[in-house]
Structure 1
Amino acid sequence: MTSCNRTLIPGAEYILPLRWVDDSALADLVRYLEALCEWIAVTVVDGSPDALFERHTDCFPSAVNHVRPTPGAAGNGKVAAVMTAVRLSTAERLVIADDDVRYTPEGLNAVIAGLDRADIVRPQNYFTTWPWHARWDTSRTLINRAFAGDFPGTLAVSRAALQATGGYAPVLFENLELIRTVTAAGGREEQATALFVARNPPTARHFLRQRVRQAYDDFAQPGRLVIELILLPLLTWILCLPGWRRILALLCAAATAAALAESGRRRQHGQEVFPASTSMFAPLWAVERAICIWMAVALRCRGGVPYAGTRLKTAGHSLNYLRLQHEGKIRSARPAR
């Protein structure tokens, strides 16, 4: 266990929910934590099996607050881990990040400064290296950027906002649920589309395992869900066209997907971090989603996505539903000026 010479960002804390079944990435995470705890207070809420938890205790820097998650409601364990840290924290400004996210001091300061203007800040992730599956997955990110905003593996949020709402539901698409809960309660969101925060790409095997689960997230976004459900019938119709018409229609569809991705890549200086080749993977991603969204429908009919020995049926709640639960809570909790 190593120690850190700490010059911390005041009033801020970094929350890292962790639940590993193997430690293949431990050395890299330890190196990151050693740097991170020089910049900001760090809490790792670790739901890993006992043997791994003890090993993490031995390897993590001594400055890291390494704790077990408190038992929470059934569902996404990441939410229970985050809320464990929120309840333990005395910092007002919180950065929540997955274990593959890699902030720099400048990125941390920028995302935390955003909380001076908003209750929740959504930066933009990009991959640190570019194997084929990172380029493929980035095409999805670029299409998200073209239409609105992407959903990264990290957010900054005001602790007071989470206290006012009592937390957020442990659904599958937990980051979207957190954003919607805060905004439904009257909080302000800042989409920091040009604030780029690195993350390590997953293994190709992990990427492939996540295809249907990512598609299932779109049950929380009905408009997008409908469009994606149309893709497979549209592709089938195109493939049934005769000869040159089929080729022309396929080329037009592929060009449309690539052009949408490229518009997202060029938005807010995205070309500085996203290689041009990532836009070319958009047609492949569209075919993937056309198939996987129907596989997600089949999972929905069977009770939801398998998750930690159970099934999660709810991808996320609508903004209207959350307004009924939380409307005005954050505004009411703010001190009068």
Structure 2
Amino acid sequence: MSTTAISQSAEYILPLRWTGDSDLPDLAAYLGRLSGWIPVTVVDGSAPELFERHRAAFPPAIRHIRPEQGGNGGNGKVAGVMTGVRAAGAELLVIADDDVRYTRESLAAVVNHLESADVVRPQNYFDPLPWHAWWDTSRTLINRAWSADFPGTLAVRRSALLATGGYDPVLFENLELIRTVRAAGGREKILPDLFVARKPPGPRHFLKQRTRQAYDDFAQPLRLAAELVLLPVIAAAAGLPARHRGKAFLALAAAPVIIAGIGRRGHNGTTVFPFRAVWCAPLWVLERAVCIWIALAYRLGGGVPYAGTRLKTAAHSEAELRRRHSGKLAAMYEPDPQTSARNPHQEQS
């Protein structure tokens, strides 16, 4: 496959649930471009009047459907994804949030990689970059230095996901999907140099995401433990004698800057991540040091608020998912030693 050709056995699935339509013209224009490259299904859980408005605005080539009824609650995005997966006529599926913006080249590349994997994880970057996107980009850079970032888009083989019966509607749904496919014996490709643009949220939505993103780390115990230590360390530095306090705070600020710089330089990150984002890393670490304790309070109180409900489970452990799904993909194929090597499974939020 060339870098601009897209497989005939590919399809794009966009789960949607809006309460307002301010971004509708932009999304409709993107779907118009997208539908010229690949079949597109939008699974729209918006209110009836918004659903009809979307149907009128979207290009005629878009398949626009409702999510299936009878879900088991939790994260409604998962119900939308699984409706699209079951309705799809293609094997190679690209799943993306409504703020993701593929080019023809990046779309062809992610589909091409899916030919030799069961789930593919590209790298998102924000475009444009208002102030809060600089801030959140520093989180991405730290994740890249640690292991890899989690984007708002994945590619997955339809047969692999259906063989597992789908994935649970937890808070960190992309991690749950990846772990479910891997637990069943699927192959993952992590592509930190395959860059896909993403529109940043508005400032208000960005602020609402802070604690929810911190709550994701209950699915990653080692990272959770490291983040819970941050606030006590900062408090200890504040309690030092004045002659040592400045040096301690300088060291605490320098460490995330250095780590973010490593994440930016690796895997061609300098092509899409401006250097200015590195300097926001201490602000993001301070944010996470506070928000992780707020997330802990929510956890003890029954879960984090999400779309009118509370979600307690961020994502299930790999051990739990292996107990449920181990061997489910064995009937599909025998692993090829030439292609079954995986990237390290260290995970970040």
Are 1:225 and 2:224 matched, yes or no? yes
Q: Which residue of 2 aligns with 1:147?
A: 146
Larger mean CA deviation between 7-16 and 47-56 belongs to: 7-16
Contact in 2 for aligned 1:8/1:41 (Cα 8 Å): no
**Distance of 1:148 and 1:160 partners within structure 2:** 28
Mapping 1:30-41, distance limit 5 Å: 30-41=28-39
Are 1:279 and 2:295 matched, yes or no? no
Q: Give the TM-score normalised by structure 1.
A: 0.96
Q: Which residue of 2 aligns with 1:168?
A: 167
Contact in 1 for aligned 2:6/2:107 (Cα 8 Å): no
Are 1:12 and 2:10 matched, yes or no? yes
Q: Which residue of 1 aligns with 2:346?
A: none
Q: Which residue of 2 aligns with 1:210?
A: 209
> 3-state SS of the aligned residue for 1:21?
coil
What whole-Å deviation, never above 9, does each CA across 1:222-264 have from its counterpart, x for those lacking one? Answer: 1000000000000100111111311111111111100000100
What whole-Å deviation, never above 9, does each CA across 1:307-336 have from its counterpart, x for those lacking one? Answer: 222110000001010000001111223379
What whole-Å deviation, never above 9, does each CA across 1:101-126 have from its counterpart, x for those lacking one? Answer: 00000000100011111100000000
Are 1:315 and 2:314 matched, yes or no? yes
**Distance of 1:321 and 1:165 partners within structure 2:** 13
Are 1:138 and 2:130 matched, yes or no? no
**Distance of 1:335 and 1:266 partners within structure 2:** 37
**Distance of 2:322 and 2:334 partners within structure 1:** 21
Letter in 1 for 2:10: A
Gap regions ≥5 residues in structure 2? 337-349
> 3-state SS of the aligned residue for 2:150?
coil
**Distance of 1:330 and 1:153 partners within structure 2:** 25
Letter in 2 for 1:46: D
Are 1:268 and 2:236 matched, yes or no? no
**Distance of 1:139 and 1:84 partners within structure 2:** 34
1:8: how far off? 6.5
Question: Match for 1:48 among 46, 49, 55?
Answer: 46
**Distance of 1:157 and 1:8 partners within structure 2:** 15
Contact in 2 for aligned 1:8/1:38 (Cα 8 Å): no
1:90: how far off? 1.3
Letter in 2 for 1:33: L
Mapping 1:57-72, distance limit 5 Å: 57-71=55-69, 72=71
Q: Which residue of 1 aligns with 2:192?
A: 193
**Distance of 1:333 and 1:18 partners within structure 2:** 31
- Percentage of matched positions with identical amino acids: 62
**Distance of 1:241 and 1:335 partners within structure 2:** 60
**Distance of 1:303 and 1:178 partners within structure 2:** 23
**Distance of 2:191 and 2:6 partners within structure 1:** 23
**Distance of 1:191 and 1:210 partners within structure 2:** 24
Are 1:255 and 2:254 matched, yes or no? yes
Q: Which residue of 2 aligns with 1:157?
A: 156
**Distance of 2:86 and 2:170 partners within structure 1:** 19
Root-mean-square deviation (CA), in Å?
1.2
**Distance of 1:266 and 1:8 partners within structure 2:** 30
What whole-Å deviation, never above 9, does each CA across 1:83-116 have from its counterpart, x for those lacking one? Answer: 0011111100000000000000000010001111
Q: Which residue of 2 aligns with 1:110?
A: 109
Task: Give the paired residue count.
Answer: 331
**Distance of 1:8 and 1:161 partners within structure 2:** 20
Q: Which residue of 2 aligns with 1:3?
A: none
Contact in 2 for aligned 1:215/1:293 (Cα 8 Å): yes
> 3-state SS of the aligned residue for 1:126?
strand
Q: Which residue of 2 aligns with 1:327?
A: 326
**Distance of 1:22 and 1:181 partners within structure 2:** 33
What whole-Å deviation, never above 9, does each CA across 1:146-175 have from its counterpart, x for those lacking one? Answer: 011000000000001111101111100000
**Distance of 1:224 and 1:166 partners within structure 2:** 29
Q: Which residue of 1 aligns with 2:24?
A: 26
Contact in 1 for aligned 2:119/2:181 (Cα 8 Å): yes
Contact in 2 for aligned 1:17/1:99 (Cα 8 Å): yes
> 3-state SS of the aligned residue for 1:281?
helix
Q: Which residue of 1 aligns with 2:293?
A: 294
